Amino acid sequence: MHPVDGHGAYHTGHYRDLFAEVGHTPSESRARIDQIFQQLFHGDPATQTVFYEAGRNEQGPLAYVTDIHNNDVRTEGMSYGMMIAVQMDKKAEFDALWNWANTHMLVTDPDDPSVGYFKWSMNRDGTPRSQTPAPDGEEYFVMSLYFAANRWGSSNGLYDYKAQADGLLRLMRHHPVMTRATAKGMRTVGPMVNEQYRMILFVPNSGGDTFTDPSYHLPAFYELWARWGPVEDRAFWQEAAEASRRFFPRTVGAKTGLSPDYANFDGSPRPSFNKFSTDFSYDSWRTASNWSVDYSWWRKDTEERKLSNRIQNFLFGQGVSAFADQYTLGGQPISKRHSTGMVATTAVASLAATDSHAKDFVKNLWNTPTPSGEQRYYDGLLYLMSMLHCSGNFRIWAPKAPLPN
């Protein structure tokens, strides 16, 4: 292996099983994860599942993942569903989700500024709630498609996973800047990245008012795109991984490790349309998981270990089974809810953490039941992905080595 491959799971092939480290066997973890998948994807439609079959078209079966509370279909959930499916070898569910996304969410009008991207929010009948994309959905679409290509092999057309991933990833960087007049004013869409700072944008509006979302930073994925993506963009994604690693310490609270929902490129909190945009809120739950998975897969930046220790130490002081799900960056709670999704992502931070509290967060996740009811969408998807991470079953699916002649 080349030194640029780091010293994590990509290099070693070994993924930590945090549940085994607190006394649960791999078979016990696998049975638990299978049960969670069954509940969230094929459980009771009224109280358990977030995955719904929606007939078929000429491409095959269709299905969507829905946000129960908001009664919409989001690229976030669709791409998370695809990632879960490829990690769990559920090709039928993967293909049905990808088919629905392309049938209903993909912008195909060549004059639409969002052409080639996916509308981030849809009604369950396939009509749009929004005409604009959200880059976190595209990021997970791309990564899940590369994993699908490597795990299952690519087919043709919509199911040529490698070609689909290459095309979308290329567009994310090279989308032309396009403008159209709408009833709400001029809408401009361009690339999903800022070239100068090598960072993902919150929205690809390409105007002067651009900023980022710390939870959209996925250096673990960027490293893979620097190896598997379009050749002309590989250096960019390598630089983006390094930029994200430098960004994380600048954007989190100095004593709490909490990140804001939105941030400027220098890491400072970014006031926006959301009243919690400068605070640790729902998007922010994912940030610690992102840097911790990066450490687990690549081990290129020991600062990520310090950040995981920092956020876990703060939350342990709040009560490992009671901490709030929203805070100021200085650590003042601004909610009274203890959310399963945040319990889950904070446990993933134990992949990088070194303090004694790390096992407490893993145990807390194991003892937390599968979400059901109105909040089962975001909580549930983060919960299942985190269970995969913490059990060592969320893995890099690399291209198969060619057979010898």
| Residues with catalytic function | 76, 283
| Strand partners of residue 181 | 186
- The letter for the amino acid at 342 is M
Q: How many CB atoms lie within 10 A of CB 370?
A: 20
- The letter for the amino acid at 360 is D
- The letter for the amino acid at 311 is I
Secondary structure element (H or E) that encloses residue 243, with its range: helix 234-251
CB 73, CB 83: distance < 8 Å: no
Which long-range contacts link 107-115 to residues 24+ away (Cβ below 8 Å)?
A: 107/131, 107/133, 111/180, 112/178, 112/180, 113/178, 113/179, 113/180, 113/187, 113/188, 113/189, 114/189, 115/178
- Distance (Å, rounded) from C-alpha 312 to C-alpha 325? 13
Q: Which two tokens stand for residue 262?
A: 């939105």
Q: Which two tokens stand for residue 334?
A: 């601004």
